[in-house]
């Protein structure tokens, strides 16, 4: 018996594999449902490793080498798209392509503008996904203002115009990015994708950049949506966190607008955004700010579509947008500005909503976090980076004090004189070391041969009185700075607050809040009431048409485009539908047309085709499928009376017939029970009816007193 193939051994992971996150999903529910072979199955021989043949059910869904390969590849691909493509990190707020762009700009930074095409080329040595994605990411970051300063045509976030080609535009780091994002001494590097270069794992960012920029991304099994926030408000919130005070932050969008946050909870939930619409003279409105996600082009197209559907009373649109949004709307005659604004919010993207769900990478794991959690993590990182910078500076000052003190003793105590009579280099070095022995109490650590090498390279002019005095002043400055650094390390929280407040003072004029917070939740616009009379349904009796686009005809009623109407024909057919533009119903074929109300009661009298008997029924239409044709009476019947509600009486005049003693009769419809629309009516009479009405007619003979009609 041939044995089933053994499970291929997994290759040992290298250091390069260690930085990839195949174990990314250890604490996630995302892949828990993925079927895998159990250890028990392998041990008892029921899986791949046993001699027993696999069960038939395993042929398609059980364990096997191909399944293991697919599972492993899927996990690696999912890990790659999450960590290397789509999801930003909390630590520096960037996706990999953005981080590589910023690192490339820092490497090439000399304070002057650089061609974007050059930056793209430089970034490609770190980013393996082509130039188009890099150029798009540069334009996107530049339009967000904080990190990259652009020169040239970067498109227009208001109109949606695209940026010029990368060879025509230039960019450079902003002062904010240059000062707050980079520190090679605090940065860990890994080999780039081809091993030729080193790229940062994360940038040592001291800003809450993830919440400043916002982010959207879709990966395997995950998606993220993080709204941008106001830079200054985030810094103020970080001050509150350090001081252990309450805080609250809300999104802020570059396009401005008005925002309702009643359904928004600390980064999760939904916000509603409205365009800013201002009143102008001569019955005009002007849109001066857009909801996020809209451009003037998309908004105008949406308004034009609503105009065609007669939902908004606008007759002309003029777009004057340049650096600021300005869309002028000329209203129809007789329409109030307030009603037009309500219609714009109700039927166009002048009001829209955005949903937020922050899924991020934090400490190499995908997590769903709230805005407060992200801000606390950024504040902890800020404190850690400030402490590490202070400690680095303390060590630098200590080394600087040592070298300056060595120079001072070497020159002022004339130790250099000892080397004049020495005949070998080793003797020179030893003479210098011996010369420092009486002054070791002025030093913080021992003198090394490297120190001696540094002293022997001092230029002869440094021996002058001028240089001696300057060296003393430098030592005094080092000591003062060391005291200041020590105080800052001891009072780190106060130092961090001062750092944040200095940023607020410097950048507050540049980054004001652009999106206004609504004082109260947006009022629900009663759309049906707003459009109750927007359409006029007419009947063209000459040609037998009904509709809203009929110019000449009798007006039946006013209605809304949101309404549904019911049409009943004389033969008992009925159909529920939206108000039609133009519908053929025949000149005499339709007996009833009105706004549909499923609970409204009707009274119907009809004659059936087989014996010519007349029946009466009371009913309500109830539910109906739109544009589907139904029958409320048996096919071949003819409706001779159809009215809303329950009339007090039905007056009937019969056709003359031989030996007929009853010529007229009155019936009481309220005696008929209310039934469904498809129920059969109650027999009213077997005689042929000449006339029928619900109001006492002129042809009614009061002197003729027939028996009252019975409806049972």
**In whole angstroms, what is the distance from residue 214 CA to residue 234 CA?**
13
Q: Report yes or no on whether pTM surpasses 0.85.
A: no
pLDDT of residue 55: 47
Report the DSSP pairing between strands 258-260 and 516-517.
parallel
- Show the tokens assigned to 333: 């005659």
Burial of 108 (0-12, 13-18, 19+ CB in 10 A): middle
Q: Would you call 142 helix, strand, or coil by DSSP?
A: helix
- Show the tokens assigned to 123: 């970034």
pLDDT of residue 25: 36
CA dist 573 to 511, 593, 602, 634, 678, Å?
A: 66, 12, 15, 9, 11
pLDDT of residue 463: 67
CB 572 within 8 A of CB 615: no
pLDDT of residue 46: 39
Catalytic (active site) residue 168: yes
CA dist 128 to 120, 132, 141, 199, 361, Å?
A: 12, 11, 19, 13, 21
User: Among residues 168, 193, 320, 425, which one is catalytic?
Assistant: 168
| All structural domains of the chain | 15-83 (no CATH), 87-205 (3.90.199.10), 387-507 (1.10.268.10), 528-693 (2.120.10.90)
pLDDT of residue 711: 84
pLDDT of residue 401: 94
pLDDT of residue 24: 36
Identify any residues that bridge with 702 across adjacent strands, giving them in sequence order. none
Parts of the chain with a pLDDT under 50: 1-59
Give the contacts of 176 (CB within 8 A, at least 6 positions apart).
146, 147, 207, 507
């Amino acid at each position: 018996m041939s044995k089933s193939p053994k499970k291929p051994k997994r290759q040992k992971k290298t250091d390069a594999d260690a930085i990839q996150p195949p174990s990314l999903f250890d604490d996630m529910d995302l892949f828990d449902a993925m079927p895998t072979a159990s250890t028990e199955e392998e041990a008892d021989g029921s899986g791949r490793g046993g001699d027993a043949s696999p069960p038939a059910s395993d042929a398609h869904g059980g364990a096997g080498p191909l399944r293991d390969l697919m599972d492993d590849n899927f996990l690696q691909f999912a890990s790659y798209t999450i960590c290397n493509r789509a999801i930003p990190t909390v630590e520096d707020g960037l996706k990999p392509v953005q981080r590589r762009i910023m690192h490339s700009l820092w490497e090439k930074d000399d304070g002057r503008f650089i061609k974007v095409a050059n930056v793209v080329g430089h970034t490609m040595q770190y980013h393996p996904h082509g130039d188009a994605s890099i150029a798009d990411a540069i334009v996107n970051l530049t339009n967000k203002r904080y990190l990259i300063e652009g020169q040239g045509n970067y498109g227009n976030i208001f109109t949606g115009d695209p940026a010029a080609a990368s060879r025509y535009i230039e960019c450079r780091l902003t002062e904010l990015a240059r000062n707050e994002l980079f520190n090679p001494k605090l940065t860990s590097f890994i080999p780039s994708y081809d091993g030729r270069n080193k790229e940062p794992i994360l940038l040592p960012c001291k800003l809450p950049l993830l919440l400043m920029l916002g982010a959207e991304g879709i990966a395997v099994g995950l998606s993220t949506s993080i709204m941008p926030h106001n830079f200054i408000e985030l810094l103020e919130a970080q001050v509150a966190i350090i001081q252990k005070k309450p805080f609250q932050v809300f999104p802020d969008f570059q396009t401005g607008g008005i925002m309702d946050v009643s359904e928004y909870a600390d980064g999760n939930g939904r916000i509603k955004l409205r365009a800013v619409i201002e009143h102008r003279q001569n019955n005009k409105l002007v849109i001066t700010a857009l909801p996020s996600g809209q451009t003037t082009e998309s908004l105008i197209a949406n308004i034009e579509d609503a105009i065609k559907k007669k939902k908004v009373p606008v007759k002309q649109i003029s777009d004057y947008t340049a650096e600021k949004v300005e869309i002028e709307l000329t209203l129809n005659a007789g329409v109030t500005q307030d009603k037009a604004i309500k219609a714009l919010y109700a039927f166009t993207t002048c009001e829209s909503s955005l949903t937020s769900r922050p899924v991020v990478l934090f400490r190499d794991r995908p997590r769903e976090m709230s805005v407060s959690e992200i801000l606390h993590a950024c504040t902890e990182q800020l404190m850690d980076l400030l402490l590490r910078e202070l400690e680095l500076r303390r060590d630098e000052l200590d080394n600087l004090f040592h070298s300056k003190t060595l120079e001072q003793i070497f020159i002022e105590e004339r130790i250099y004189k000892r080397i004049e009579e020495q005949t070998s280099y080793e003797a020179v070095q030893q003479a210098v070391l011996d010369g420092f022995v009486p002054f070791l109490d002025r030093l913080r650590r021992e003198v090394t041969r490297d120190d001696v090498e540094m002293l022997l390279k001092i230029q002869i002019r440094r021996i002058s009185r001028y240089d001696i005095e300057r060296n003393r002043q430098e030592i005094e400055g080092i000591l003062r700075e060391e005291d200041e650094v020590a105080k800052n390390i001891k009072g780190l929280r106060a130092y961090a607050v001062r750092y944040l407040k200095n940023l607020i003072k410097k950048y507050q004029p540049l980054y004001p809040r652009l999106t206004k917070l609504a004082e109260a939740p947006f009022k629900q616009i009663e759309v049906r009431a707003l459009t109750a009379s927007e359409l006029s349904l007419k009947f063209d009796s000459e040609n037998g048409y009904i509709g809203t686009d009929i110019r000449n005809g009798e007006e039946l009623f006013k209605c809304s485009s949101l309404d549904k109407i019911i049409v009943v024909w004389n033969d008992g057919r009925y159909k529920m539908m939206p108000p039609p533009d133009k519908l053929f119903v025949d000149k005499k074929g339709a007996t009833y047309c009105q706004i549909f109300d499923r609970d409204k009661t009707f009274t119907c009298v009809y004659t059936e085709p087989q014996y010519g008997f007349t029946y009466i029924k009371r009913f309500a239409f109830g539910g109906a499928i739109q544009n589907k044709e139904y029958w409320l009476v048996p096919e071949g019947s003819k409706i001779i009376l159809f009215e809303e509600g329950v009339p007090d009486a039905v007056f009937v005049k019969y056709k003359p017939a031989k030996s007929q003693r009853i010529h007229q009769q009155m019936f009481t419809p309220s005696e008929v029970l209310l039934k469904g629309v498809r129920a059969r009516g109650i027999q009213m009479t077997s005689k042929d009816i000449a006339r029928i009405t619900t109001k006492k007619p002129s042809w009614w003979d009061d002197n003729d007193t027939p028996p009252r009609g019975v409806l049972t």
